[in-house]
Amino acid sequence: MTQTLDTSSPGAGGVSHATHGWFDAAYLVALVPLAVLGAILSLGPTVLGADSAAEWSMPWVPSLGIALSFRIDGFSFLFGTLIAGIGSLVAIYAAAYMKGDAHRGRFLLLIVLFMGAMLGAIFAADVILLFVFWELTSLLSFLLIGHKASDPAARRAAVQGLMVTVGGGLALMAGLLLMASIAGTTSLPGIIAAGPAIIASPLFVPALLLMLLGAFTKSAQVPFHFWLPGAMSAPTPASAFLHSATMVKLGVYLLIRFDPAFGDEAIWQTLLIGFGGATMLVAAVQALRVEAFKAVLAQTTIAALGTLTLLVGLTGPVAAVATVGFLLSHALYKAALFFAAGNAIHATGVDRLSQMGGLARSLPFTAGAAVIACLSMAGLPPFIGFIAKELLFEAKLDTGTTALIVLAVIVNAVLVAVAAVVALRPFFFGEQRPAQLKHGETVGLAAPPILLACIGAMLGLLPGLASNAFLTDAVSAAAGETIIVDLKLWHGLTPYLGLSVLAVTFGALIAWRWRSLNAALASRRMPTAIHAERLSDRAAAGVLNGGRALTARLQNGSLRKYAWVPLLAFALVIALALVSGGMALPPFDLTERPYLILIVAVLVAGSFVAATARSFLAVLIAIGLVGYALGVLFLKKGAPDLAFTQFAVETVFVVVAAAVLVRMPLQVLEPRVQGERRADAALALSIGVLGTLVALAMMGEPFDPRISDYFREVSLPEAFGRNVVNVVIVDFRALDTLGEIAVVALAALAAFGVMRGLRARRTIEPAAAQKPTAEEAGQ
Amino acid sequence: MRGVARIRSGRPILPSAILSASASLIAAVMALLSLYILLRGHNEPGGGFIGGLVGAGALVVLGFASGAERARRALRFHPIAIAGAGLVMALISGLPALLVGQPFLTHLWGEIPFEAGALKVGTTYLFDLGVYLVVLGSVAAFHLMFVED
């Protein structure tokens, strides 16, 4: 995988290496997301246009009113195009990036599956369906983060991410179910339409809090944001797809969907603005603290998510346009930057920004893409990021307070600084230049970032194209009312332009002093993240420790303990039933035929011998005696089939048991002490007595003969058999019998497997009795 | 009890002359008996379970007298395979019902005319045979495992 680059021939770089095995079958995987993209785009004419949507529905659980329904409106059309489009590029990039990785196929499969789950979540029109896909994305994210399973840091990050998002998912489900029960339907549009009813209900606040918990954990809001930087242990293509462009935006998507219903409530606005703002601030500071390339990008992603949450909390049409616009531009530039980061890290083998430098010469396309994307991130014209940022400022000036505006400027300045550092440092400046590069650029690695960056540039240069084509429909669908979007590059000298200039200047200052600022901040501890992370770690450890303790208690290897628990429980339950149920015992009739009493006496004697005998042989014979006596009893009481089976089973059992016992010492080894023996005897005796009492009580109940009468009447005419027992087994209740023989066969298979394993592990016996036997090679 | 010999595959467990001489005969009679029990089950006491157990008994006798190797050869197929085949047979016996639009495992009957009268045949026999084979195979598998070293 690592090809040493000959640095003595500059410019000969990666591309010439790539032309060798240019075609790689793995690239074909990208056809799947491309096909999906095509399918989504083909729905464009149906979806775009005033108030229309494409719908498809199929009943799923009719008794609960849950349906497999999907709905594509303007907003999910845009988001879906984004997901499928970036997904295709990720597939191409991943095929190139992970060349040489043994599990590349698995990774690509997971990426495609993830895309499917993500699309399912945003197209779902039923909240249960939405939840299922939501959890699927968490699960797939877990698998993708832990792709390199041998790395303990990756495993830990994957488990942490899973626990946080799934915990949030549980809260989300509770919240959604509460809302569905108030609205009377599980359909998403239905619940949104029932907004006033939900708000009026006393369960509104709990339901809202639960739902927000789910959304905030997924979208990494403070204090649940700590899992996202950890997720950077994932391979870069996964980070680019999941943790920047798509999955983390799912929480924001949910908030956008519910905004038309709850957007006017003070609690909604306060919570969203509060958490969003806090996230922005925390992430901005963190972005300046960290050193690794991907970590910086992760922190800016968290900041962007905070911004989006805040924007959803703001009211007004401008905020709606700003939300969608920022969602779009962020996805474009962040994915491109992650691709560039991946290329840089792949090429140099290091991941810290301070250790990279001067890569533009060997990674020209990547550098170009990074610069363009960074310009978009910094919000400089003429890129889409600039337009989005202007909208941001306008939205905050429109409806926000001064505090929000200050926050926005600060965060934007930090983004500018980070953009400058990320664009310039590794590619152009940088004190440390790595001596030898491991990997150059290939087509698969360079094309995706360039393409994304160019799209961002194009949308910025031709904003009218975007707004007419799809943004108007997207924003209108998101806001629930028609909003005409009119994006322009130049609005004139407006207050928000002034704010932009302010932010850019401030940011440039920070970038200039990045090195010292970074060192100063890194040395001080941050309060928020540490507590939440430690809590989640402790929770995970606690669960595992609890499991271990329980297992040590219950599964301690002592056969006696294993037998005691169910037997004792059984005895207690029976005793309880007898005492409380007050079962009546039938009149005891001792004038039974004498030979039956003799047989019962033999039975009892046999059991006694079996329990107390000292030799295995005696035990075995006694057990066989009990079985045969029972068979005779059945026979005398008029059950020939039963007796027949009993005799056959008893014979086979005694013989097979003898085959096993032949190899054991003939004396019974007694591992129990006197006290234990007494306790075991007491338990056995009590179960015997209780069982007898229950059997007697059951016989006292009047017997309902309807079933046996039915079988007796119908057996010959309908089933052509005179042996009712056999007819019932083979015909009337054949399905039960099928299940029983399946169990028997499975038990035999399992025992066979166990025996084979034991035999394979047995050590060779000592030489004394050894003759080289032709040991059968298994079975 | 003399005769607790160390087990070796292929060698008899109990070196009793009477048993060795008569084992093949006894086993053959038991096998025939097991088939008889299987076939009579529908109208008289008997059936697949009991037939299978008796058949397994035949195998057990053979195994004790002549060794596990001889018993396996008599079975000809792997005991687990026999059990599996029985399960498949029982499943298949329920399929013809689906072809005529009845629920799964509704047994169908037909008649084969003979001189002495008509012989009634039905899918129940296939099902019972399946049960027989499962029981035979499973018990044989258990026993032969324990008999060998």
* Range list of β-strands (E), A458-537: none
The yes-or-no verdict on residue A759 having pLDDT over 80 is no
Pairing assessment for the beta strands A66-72 and A54-61 based on DSSP bridges: antiparallel
Q: Which amino acid is at A741?
A: I
Nearest to A470 by CA among A54, A78, A14, A69: A78
How far is residue A309's CA from residue A323's CA, in Å, rounded to a whole number? 9
The closest CB to that of B13, out of A662, A745, A749, belongs to A662
CA end-to-end span of chain B, whole Å? 20
User: What is the DSSP-derived secondary structure letter of residue B43?
Assistant: T
Q: Which of A309-313, A462-466, A654-658 tops mean pLDDT?
A: A309-313
Residue whose structure tokens are 């006033």:
A196
Q: Please identify which residue in the block is written with the tokens 């359909």.
A: A187
Q: Residues A587-611: pLDDT tens digits?
A: 666 666 778 888 989 999 999 998 8
Nearest to A95 by CA among A161, A32, A5, A13: A32
Q: What is the band of A123 on the pLDDT scale with cuts at 50, 70, 90?
A: very high
pLDDT, tens digit, for every residue of B102-146? 888 888 888 888 877 777 788 899 999 999 999 999 999 988 887
Average pLDDT over residues B94-99: 87
Whether A645 sits inside 8 A of B6 (CB atoms) is no
A49 versus A283: which is more confidently predicted?
A283
Distance of CA A438 to the CA centre of its chain: 35
Q: Tell me the ipTM for this assembly.
A: 0.88
Alpha helices in chain B (DSSP H): 17-40, 48-66, 68-75, 79-93, 95-99, 123-147
Q: What are the residues facing A61 on neighbouring strands?
A: A66
pLDDT digits (tens, 9 = 90+) for A8-35: 333 333 333 444 455 677 788 888 888 8
Rg over CA atoms, chain A: 36
Residue with tokens 């000959």, as numbered in its chain: A6
Cross-chain residue pair A659–B147, CB shorter than 8 Å: yes
pLDDT band with cut points at 50, 70 and 90 for residue A467:
low
Q: How many CB pairs under 8 A join A and B?
A: 154
Predicted confidence at residue B14, as pLDDT, reads 60
Query: Is residue B82 predicted with pLDDT exceeding 90?
Result: yes
CA distance A629 to A606: 9
Q: Does A541 touch chain B (CB under 8 A)?
A: no
Q: Which of residues 71-90 of B touch A (CB under 8 A)?
A: 78-80, 83-84, 86-87, 90
The Cα of A704 is separated from the nearest Cα of chain B by a number of Å equal to 25
Contact A640 B138 (CB under 8 A): no
CA-CA distance, A463 to A474, in Å (whole number)?
A: 15
CB A394 within 8 A of CB A408: no
Chain B partners within 8 Å of A764 (Cβ): none
* Contacting residues of A for B147, CB less than 8 Å apart: 659
**In sequence order, what are the beta bridge partners of B122?**
B109
Q: Average model confidence (pLDDT) for chain A? A: 82
pLDDT for the residue numbered A11: 39
Per the CB < 8 Å rule, is A655 touching B60?
yes
Question: Residues near A21 by Cβ (< 8 Å), separated by ≥ 6?
Answer: none
DSSP 8-state symbol, A769: G
Name beta bridge partners: A56: A70
Query: What's A223-253 look like in SS3?
Result: CCCCHHHHHHHCCHHHHHHHHHHCCCHHHHH
Query: Does residue A223 have a cis bond before it (omega within 30 degrees)?
Result: yes
Mutate to test the interface with B, among A649, A726, A727 (most CBs of B within 10 A): A726
Tell me, what's the pLDDT at A3? Answer: 39
DSSP A724-759: HHHHIIIIITHHHHHHHHHHHHHHHHHHHHHHHHHH
List, for residues A217-234, the tens digit of each pLDDT value: 999 898 888 888 888 888
Q: Which of A660, A722, A731 sits opposite B146 (nearest CB)?
A: A660
For residue A614, give every residue at least 6 positions away whose Cβ sits within 8 Å of its Cβ, in sequence order, or none.
A667, A668
B13 has a chain A CB within 8 A of its CB: yes
Residue A215 has a pLDDT of 94
Cα torsion A578, A579, A582, A586: sign: positive
CB A408 within 8 A of CB A392: yes
Which pLDDT does position A21 carry in this prediction?
A: 52
**Three-class SS of residue A383?**
coil
Residue B5: is its pLDDT beyond 50?
Answer: no
Q: CA A224, CA A305: separation in Å to the nearest integer?
A: 12
Q: Which tokens hold the place of B127? A: 């099902």
User: Nearest-CA residue of chain A relative to B129?
Assistant: A730
- Position A491 scores a pLDDT of 67
Give the number of C-alpha atoms closer than 13 A to the C-alpha of residue A435, restricted to the C-beta side.
0
| Tokens (6 digits) for A456 | 């961002």
> Does B2 or A456 have the greater pLDDT score?
A456
Read off the pLDDT band of A6 (50, 70, 90).
very low
pLDDT in tens, A363-418: 788 888 888 888 888 877 777 777 778 778 887 777 767 777 788 888 888 888 88
User: What is the DSSP annotation of A4-30?
Assistant: ---TTSTT-HHHHHHTTT---GGGGGG
